[in-house]
């Protein structure tokens, strides 16, 4: 395998693991092509430049880094490999990638190719989760220095501040033609399962099931939210109190006033919004155990 390796220079663990990861990939038989880029915005140009000579693009960073690479990877029919060097690495967790960078290199070198879905909102791709409400407010409080020093604890602090400051909003969701009028403080639409440093959109969300999962969190007291946390970490079910869960291939989301949408950690669009799934749009290197679990899940 010949792979272009792109490491986000701003990733929390990027600087510490870059050289080690390159050496490990090379030792495991990957023909490594290294390209330097000062900005994530340069990645599409670099991927297009090297596309004819590579099989895979290995991205070191978090969900936002993966998002920047997804478009040109699909356009050039390449495969995505992941080095989870970000703060939360939620999408890597969804795919069963190990946290240890050395073991993640092994997954890239010795794993299997697998096709997954991609989410799209208003012509913006998202691999993992798009959110309205709390997640957008929390991002406004995000500090790169805090991410670097405090990691996932920074997510918890930002989430509390966002909960304190976010006002409820009314939203109309049309899911595969059925209308739902909701009052919400957080709307999450997931292609992947995990987001926000360990929460789950749904206990039955998979990035290869041809569906998106939408969870709306109702306005409630901090105490009620704390009691709900085990279910939010485990993954909500349709019977959950304090929220509403639905699944579909197409969502239309309308709010009284335009509201920002956080896609994989970046705010790139706003409501009104059309969400839909692009089935099996992206090839990814995954652990063999994930492929085994997928085969078992789809056989039942």
List the chain pLDDT tens, one digit each, 300 residues: 999 999 887 765 656 677 888 899 999 999 999 887 778 889 999 999 999 999 999 999 889 899 999 999 999 999 999 999 887 899 999 999 998 888 999 999 999 999 999 999 999 999 999 999 886 766 654 544 444 443 444 455 555 555 556 688 999 999 998 999 999 999 999 999 998 777 889 988 999 999 999 999 998 888 877 887 788 888 787 778 888 999 999 999 999 999 999 999 889 999 999 999 999 999 999 999 999 999 988 886
- The CATH number for 38's domain is 3.40.50.10330
Which residue is it, tokens 């400051």? 165
CA distance 239 to 234: 14
**b/e for 212-231, b at 16 or more Cβ within 10 A?**
bbbbbbbebeeeebeebeeb
- The CATH number for 207's domain is 2.60.200.40
> Is 298 inside any structural domain?
no
236-245 long-range CB contacts below 8 Å, 24 or more apart? 236/200, 236/201, 236/202, 236/203, 237/202, 237/203, 237/204, 242/217, 242/218, 243/215, 243/216, 243/217, 243/218, 244/180, 244/182, 244/215, 244/216, 244/218, 245/202, 245/213, 245/214, 245/215, 245/216
Residues 266 and 169 in one domain: yes
Residues 176 and 229 in one domain: yes
> Is 30 inside any structural domain?
yes
> Is 293 inside any structural domain?
no
Residues 158 and 240 in one domain: yes
Q: For position 140, what pLDDT does the model report?
A: 55
CA distance 243 to 231: 11
Residues 89 and 193 in one domain: no
Residues 54 and 181 in one domain: no
CA distance 299 to 80: 25
> Is 289 inside any structural domain?
no
Q: For position 240, what pLDDT does the model report?
A: 82
Residue 63, number of CB atoms within 10 A of its CB: 26
> Is 160 inside any structural domain?
yes
CA distance 285 to 282: 10
CA distance 107 to 59: 13
Residues 217 and 168 in one domain: yes
* Greatest C-alpha distance within the chain: 56
CA distance 84 to 86: 6
Residues 180 and 274 in one domain: yes
Residues 172 and 64 in one domain: no
Say which DSSP state 204 is in. Answer: T
Residues 132 and 235 in one domain: yes
Residues 87 and 128 in one domain: no
Q: For position 130, what pLDDT does the model report?
A: 95
Do residues 242 and 220 make contact, with C-beta atoms less than 8 angstroms apart?
Answer: yes
Residues 132 and 270 in one domain: yes
> Is 47 inside any structural domain?
yes
Using H for helix, E for strand and C for coil, what is the string for 83-139? EECCCCCHHHHHCCCCCCHHHHHHHHHHCEEEEEEEEEECCEEECCEEEEEHHHHHH
Q: For position 156, what pLDDT does the model report?
A: 52
Q: For position 192, what pLDDT does the model report?
A: 93
Residues 93 and 213 in one domain: no
Q: For position 224, what pLDDT does the model report?
A: 79
What separation in angstroms does the CA of 184 have from each of 47, 237, 242? 39, 17, 10
Number of domains composing the chain: 2
> Is 252 inside any structural domain?
yes
> Is 291 inside any structural domain?
no
Residue 86's domain comprises 2-110
Is the pTM value of this prediction over 0.75? Answer: yes
């Amino acid at each position: 395998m010949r792979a272009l390796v792109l490491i986000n220079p701003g990733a929390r663990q990027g600087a510490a693991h870059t050289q080690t990861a390159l050496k490990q990939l090379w030792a495991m038989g990957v023909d490594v092509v290294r390209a330097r880029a000062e900005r994530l915005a340069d990645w599409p140009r670099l991927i297009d430049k090297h596309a004819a000579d590579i099989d895979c693009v290995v991205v070191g960073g978090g969900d936002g880094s993966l998002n920047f690479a997804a478009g040109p990877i699909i356009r050039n029919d390449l495969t995505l490999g992941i080095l989870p060097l970000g703060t939360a690495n939620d999408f890597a967790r969804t795919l069963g990638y190990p946290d240890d960078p050395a073991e993640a290199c092994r997954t890239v070198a010795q794993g299997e190719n697998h096709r997954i879905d991609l989410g799209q909102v208003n012509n913006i791709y998202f691999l993992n989760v798009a959110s309205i409400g709390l997640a957008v407010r929390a991002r406004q409080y995000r500090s790169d220095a805090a991410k670097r020093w405090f990691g996932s604890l920074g997510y918890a602090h930002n989430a509390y501040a966002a909960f304190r400051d976010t006002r409820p909003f009314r939203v109309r969701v049309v899911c595969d033609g059925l209308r739902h009028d909701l009052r919400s403080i957080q709307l999450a639409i997931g292609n992947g399962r995990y987001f926000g440093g360990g929460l789950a959109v749904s206990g039955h969300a998979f990035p290869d099931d041809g569906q998106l999962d939408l969870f709306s969190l109702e306005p409630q007291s901090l105490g009620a939210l704390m009691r709900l946390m085990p279910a939010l970490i485990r993954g909500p079910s349709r019977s959950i109190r304090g929220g509403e869960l639905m699944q579909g291939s197409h969502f239309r989301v309308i709010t009284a006033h335009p509201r920002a949408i956080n896609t994989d950690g970046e705010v790139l669009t706003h409501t009104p919004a059309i969400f839909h799934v692009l089935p099996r749009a992206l090839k990814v290197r995954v652990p063999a155990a994930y492929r085994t679990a997928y085969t078992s899940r789809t056989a039942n």
